[in-house]
């Protein structure tokens, strides 16, 4: 299973390179429109900056992406930012790197390294959010089978969200969607044996 990642909260990291101030902003987004809105927002916040270069990746498998050098020499800003995001298997993410020029030219190689490294620093400053699709099940079982069932569910990485002890035991669980069929098959066998009933 190939996982993709994003950030949970907005990240803002400032770095000084040869007197230029670089500020990397990262934000979770779900659509291209939201990414563009965030880019505009950062651009307005730092309207006196020399450059607000950016990249975004959206889509379940990171299939939609775009970047801009925003006035820096072609290929020196947007692409390095995008490459840093791709390297960490990120999607549903927008990154804007603001640059306040400090008077010392960095050259093509220097710019590529700077924009790439400040984006990397921002990514590494936080624990990334694993993006997973979850499927939910509601199970009703007997008291004498509940503990064994809970053990088996946890064994296949199912998450038990809620357990209600009434006349019978009801469990609300979630599991990564790619494992849904495996769990469904297991539960169907138990239902056939009269151990439980379940709905998805």
65 with 100, same domain: the answer is yes
137 with 67, same domain: the answer is no
Work out the average pLDDT over 182-187. 89
184 with 116, same domain: the answer is no
Domain boundary among 107, 130, 153: 130
pLDDT at 27: 97
Please work out, in degrees rounded to the nearest 5, the angle formed at the alpha carbon of residue 50 by the alpha carbons of 47 and 53.
85
96 with 138, same domain: the answer is no
3-state secondary structure at position 11: strand
125 with 76, same domain: the answer is yes
139 with 104, same domain: the answer is no
User: In CATH, what number is assigned to the domain containing residue 145?
Assistant: 3.30.70.260
Q: Domain of residue 69: give its range.
A: 4-130
d(C-alpha 6, C-alpha 141), whole Å: 37
User: Within a 10 A sphere around the Cβ of 30, how many other Cβ atoms?
Assistant: 12
Residue 161 scores a pLDDT above 90: no
If 0-12 CB within 10 Å is exposed, 13-18 middle and 19+ buried, where does residue 184 land?
Answer: middle
CA distances from 63 to 11, 28, 86, 112, 157 (A): 23, 16, 11, 24, 28
Domain boundary among 130, 155, 182: 130
Domain boundary among 72, 101, 130: 130
Radius of gyration of the chain (CA): 24
- Short-list 27, 193, 18, CA closest to 119: 27
Stated pTM of the model: 0.76
Return the percentage of the chain with pLDDT > 90, whole number.
Answer: 82
Residue 2 scores a pLDDT above 80: no
84 with 137, same domain: the answer is no
pLDDT digits (tens, 9 = 90+) for 106-136: 999 999 999 999 999 999 998 899 898 889 9
Give me the number of domains the chain comprises. 2
99 with 178, same domain: the answer is no
3-state secondary structure at position 167: coil
Residue with tokens 């709905």: 199
């Amino acid at each position: 299973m190939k996982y993709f990642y994003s950030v949970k909260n907005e990240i803002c990291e400032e770095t000084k390179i040869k007197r230029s101030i670089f500020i990397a902003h990262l934000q979770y987004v779900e659509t291209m429109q939201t990414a563009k809105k965030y880019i505009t927002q950062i651009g307005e916040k730092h309207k006196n900056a020399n450059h607000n270069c950016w990249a975004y990746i959206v889509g379940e498998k990171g299939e939609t992406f775009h970047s801009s050098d925003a006035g820096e020499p072609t290929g020196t800003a947007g692409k390095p930012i995008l490459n840093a995001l791709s390297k960490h298997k990120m999607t549903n993410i927008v990154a804007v790197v603001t640059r306040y020029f400090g008077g010392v030219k960095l050259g093509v190689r220097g710019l590529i390294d700077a924009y790439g490294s400040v984006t990397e620093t921002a990514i590494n400053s936080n624990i990334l959010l694993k993006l997973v699709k979850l499927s939910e099940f509601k199970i009703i079982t007997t008291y004498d089978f509940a503990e064994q069932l809970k053990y088996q569910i946890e064994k296949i990485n199912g998450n038990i969200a809620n357990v209600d002890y009434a006349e019978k035991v009801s469990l609300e669980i979630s599991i990564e969607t790619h494992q849904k069929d495996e769990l469904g098959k297991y539960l169907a066998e138990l239902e056939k044996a009269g151990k439980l009933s379940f709905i998805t």
